Amino acid sequence: MAKPTRICCIGAGYVGGPTMAMIALKCPEIIVTVVDLNESRINAWNSETLPIYEPGLFEVVKACRGKNLFFSTDCRYHVAQADIVFVSVNTPTKMSGVGAGKAADLAYWEGAARMIASVSTSSKIIVEKSTVPVKTAEAIGKVLRRNCPHPDVQFEILSNPEFLAEGTAIQDLTNPDRVLIGGKETESGRAAVAALASVYAHWVPAERILCANLWSAELSKLTANAMLAQRISSVNSISALCEATGADVQQVAHALGTDSRIGPKFLNASVGFGGSCFQKDILNLVYICESVGLKRVADYWHSVIQINDYQKHRFVEMVIGSMFNTVSGKKIAILGFAFKKDTGDTRETPAIDVCHGLIADDARLSIYDPQVQQDQIFRDLSMPKFQWDHPMLPNGAQVPFSSREIDRTVSVSSDPYKACAGSHALCVMTEWDEFKALDFDRIFASMSKPAFVFDGRNILDHERLRSIGFIVYALGKPL
């Protein structure tokens, strides 16, 4: 293929929006259009208030929007025009049917593939940007070939998984550790890999553009997320042992991290990992292992999720246990609701499980997060797990608490001091930098006594808090 001049991306979400904005910024001669069925999302991408909060994103979008970066709901037209079509739609955990609760739901992907096939009158490179089960390219290839009415049209499928993390997406896209491109080991497959590599070569050094076969690329993405999550569950499991023995998990993590074979990153003990991907991708891996008869391997990876659930549960028990075994009627301030700092994303945030645990014990919650709005928090607390990715819920999905119950027990504040005033305890759920700079003397003075701090991220200065008078509990730290 000659140098690509038109790129279309299906799916204007956390991945499609930022990745395409970066390609547009770095490749001014390529016209990049991001399409989505969700009209309000596209309107937001075309406005001054983008649909996602991501540091540095607005500047990148502003530099190219209307020049070589466009957002549209006219999916069919822009796909038909493109040389390269990225598919960056959601691939959530299946909610019903075979593999429910584990397998990836490829309905959105298949819908996109059928649409691509039906509108294509020229050959195209189709890029799997979504995280998908290994061998998806084979299935998608069949859908594309058998639904395209033009026999001359060829589709070359590539796997190009995305490794950006939310909150640092622009940094990660500007300077990626690697770009992975998997393709068929045929002449046309190699040409397609070269065409996509030529796009990234505008700013990514050649040695960081890795080529692999399709199945290796697909599996690398699932495995990368599983191994990152496994590190967190490993350190979180050790945090429980630290509490039982008097060791300090931060000292242990530091000692481990200085071993160059282990490395220092991703060893922060926490109330649990969240986000839309770690759990779903591990469940997907577990399902694939089970499907090919590798039960022991499936069990190994499943334990990463079990430890994560254990950690969230342990945190709730720590709060209730230390507050004399009852939080009934007590106000508890929840600082942070997003699944990590520098994002407004609340998908699978551990804060939801912790809030549910405390509400079940009849606590009154007062929640503050700098980037998450009240309506989002109320929706998250009153909807069944995974509904955020499934507008149409199957019958029988469990609602943990009714909206009435949430209205009665939860309030959301736009000021951290108001959230804490009159509370018996504050729980840090997200590692926002601004929490470290709060005036804790003022907060202590406004709280009921004894005043408890439960630091679910180990970000506060515990010695200083104790000197003010707080009773401090932190994960994996001596009392």
What gap in Å lies between CA 300 and CA 209, rounded to an integer?
31
The entry of ligand NAD, ligand UGA, none that residue 239 binds, CB within 5 to 8 Å by partner kind: none
Is 14 known as a binding-site position? yes
Is 279 known as a binding-site position? yes
Q: Identify which of residues 162 and 218 has a Cβ nearer to ligand NAD in the complex.
A: 162
Instruction: Give Cβ neighbours of residue 437 (< 8 Å, ≥ 6 apart).
Output: none
Q: Identify which of residues 35 and 277 has a Cβ nearer to ligand UGA in the complex.
A: 277
The entry of ligand NAD, ligand UGA, none that residue 428 binds, CB within 5 to 8 Å by partner kind: none
Q: Identify which of residues 81 and 270 has a Cβ nearer to ligand UGA in the complex.
A: 270
- Any idea which residue has 């500007």 for tokens? 174
189, 141 Cβ separation under 8 angstroms? no
The entry of ligand UGA, ligand NAD, none that residue 88 binds, CB within 5 to 8 Å by partner kind: ligand NAD
Shortest spacing between CB 268 and ligand UGA, in angstroms: 3
Residue 384 preceded by cis peptide, ω within 30: no
Is 189 known as a binding-site position? no
Q: Identify which of residues 162 and 353 has a Cβ nearer to ligand NAD in the complex.
A: 162
Is 16 known as a binding-site position? yes
Conformational region of residue 178, where left means phi above 0, alpha means psi within -120 to 50, and beta covers everything else: beta
Shortest spacing between CB 53 and ligand UGA, in angstroms: 13
The entry of ligand UGA, ligand NAD, none that residue 432 binds, CB within 5 to 8 Å by partner kind: none
Tokens of 352: 């939801």
The entry of ligand UGA, ligand NAD, none that residue 4 binds, CB within 5 to 8 Å by partner kind: none
DSSP string, 118-173: HH--S-EEEEE-S---TTHHHHHHHHHHHH-S-TT--EEEEE------TTSHHHHH
Is 149 known as a binding-site position? no
The entry of ligand UGA, ligand NAD, none that residue 232 binds, CB within 5 to 8 Å by partner kind: ligand UGA
Is 62 known as a binding-site position? no
Conformational region of residue 201, where left means phi above 0, alpha means psi within -120 to 50, and beta covers everything else: alpha
What gap in Å lies between CA 7 and CA 127, rounded to an integer?
10
Q: Which residue among the candidates 8, 75, 277, 427 is catalytic per the annotation?
A: 277
Shortest spacing between CB 114 and ligand UGA, in angstroms: 25
Residues of the shown chain interacting with ligand NAD in the complex, contacts defined by CB under 6 A:
10-16, 36-38, 41, 75, 88-91, 108, 111-112, 130-131, 162, 164, 166, 276-277
Q: Identify which of residues 339 and 435 has a Cβ nearer to ligand UGA in the complex.
A: 339
> What is the DSSP code (8-state) at residue 201?
T
Q: Identify which of residues 101 and 321 has a Cβ nearer to ligand NAD in the complex.
A: 101
What gap in Å lies between CA 322 and CA 452, rounded to an integer?
9
The entry of ligand UGA, ligand NAD, none that residue 41 binds, CB within 5 to 8 Å by partner kind: ligand NAD
Annotated catalytic, 277? yes
State whether the Cα torsion 25-30-31-36 is positive or negative: negative
What gap in Å lies between CA 148 and CA 161, rounded to an integer?
25
Q: What are phi and psi of 316, to 5 degrees?
A: -60, -40
Shortest spacing between CB 369 and ligand UGA, in angstroms: 13
Q: Identify which of residues 41 and 462 has a Cβ nearer to ligand NAD in the complex.
A: 41
Shortest spacing between CB 45 and ligand NAD, in angstroms: 10
Is 265 known as a binding-site position? no
Please tell me whether residue 6 adopts helix, strand or coil conformation: strand
- Any idea which residue has 């940007």 for tokens? 129
Query: Residue 471: in which H helix or E strand, if any?
Result: strand 471-474
Cα diameter, the chain? 76
Residues of the shown chain interacting with ligand UGA in the complex, contacts defined by CB under 6 A:
131, 162-166, 225, 228, 232, 266-268, 270, 273-275, 277-278, 339-340
Annotated binding site for NAD(+), which residues?
11-16, 36, 41, 89-93, 130-131, 166, 277-280, 347
Binding site feature residues: 11-16, 36, 41, 89-93, 130-131, 166, 277-280, 347
Annotated catalytic sites, by residue? 277
